[in-house]
Amino acid sequence: MNRLMQSFRWAIEGVLYAASAGGNLRIHLAFAAAAVALAVFLGLSPVEWALLYLTISFVISMELINTSIEQIVNIISPEQCVAAKRAKDVAAAAVLIAACGSVFVGLFLFVPKFVRLS
């Protein structure tokens, strides 16, 4: 059990590092908090909550993977290198695609609720 608790501690340290090291995770977390608050206000169904949770966790996971890739590339290639830049750019593109997808999920979930309120 001690080993399991240590694994959770390391994972939490990773999230805290990613949140403090770069602003992008903080931005994703702020948008996630806003989406959750809006979901509470609009009264999402259980299926809609599941979709929202999966979307938020996907974007945050992609940002954590991106941060990890950036750190690994910085270790392997501290000097500027075209291949290293491309690796970082592709990882950032994955986050961008996930974030854009989350906007569409948000529109799908929230716009009909606002239309019904009007």
- Which residues are annotated as catalytic? 63
Close Cβ partners of 36 (under 8 Å, ≥ 6 residues apart)? 52, 56
Looking at residue 1, its amino acid is M
Region of 31 (left: φ > 0; alpha: ψ -120 to 50; beta: rest) is alpha
Say which residue the tokens 């690994």 belong to: 72
Residue 44 backbone dihedrals phi, psi, to 5 degrees: -65, 150
As a residue count, the chain comes to 118
Terminal-residue alpha carbon distance, the chain: 52
